[in-house]
Amino acid sequence: MHHRIIDSPIGPLTLVGEGERLLAIHLPKLGRAVPPPPDAALDGGALDEAARQLGEFFAGRRRAFELDLDPRGSEFQRRVWFELAEIGYGETISYAELARRVGRPGAARAVGAANGRNPLPIVLPCHRVIGSDGSLVGYGGGLPAKRVLLELEGATAAKAPAQSRLSLAS
């Protein structure tokens, strides 16, 4: 396992990977980088592509990611997390809509809990999920960071979705 810390408009992000697979993106806490796992060595270049694509996203030059991802969670959590990638750049949906999309229309709270445990925010864009009334709710990086990300994307429901090409580790 290895890590790298990169700068972003919402503060320093800690990337964690295994080989070239991205396992986690830790959002800053209190404006500081989250320390990497104790068994994660400093990245020797395997996370270059993830860092490059995130930089392009923050510069407004990338709408979708093309990365090898390996988020660790239950089958239900992974289904929720990868459904997030289907929410188009600049679009938002409610937790209830996300629950419907994963085939569990009455499970908005369970979907919200899975969304809150998303280990790959930004790449699996949990910031695009909002309250049914349009309010900004529930973001691990804090609501100001969620607002920055949505403003960066010009979040409107009318924009065409950008398709991500993400590969899952089995």
Give the active site residues: 126
**Token pair recorded at residue 22:** 């991205």
CB atoms < 10 A from the CB of 89, how many?
20
Give DSSP secondary structure letters for 26-52: EPPBTTBPPPPPTTPEEPSSTTHHHHH
Give the span between the Cα atoms of 121 and 108, in whole angstroms: 19
144: exposed, middle or buried (Cβ count in 10 Å: 0-12, 13-18, 19+): exposed
Cβ-count burial 91-119 (b if 16+ within 10 Å, e if not): bbbbbbbbbbbbebeebbebbbebbeebb
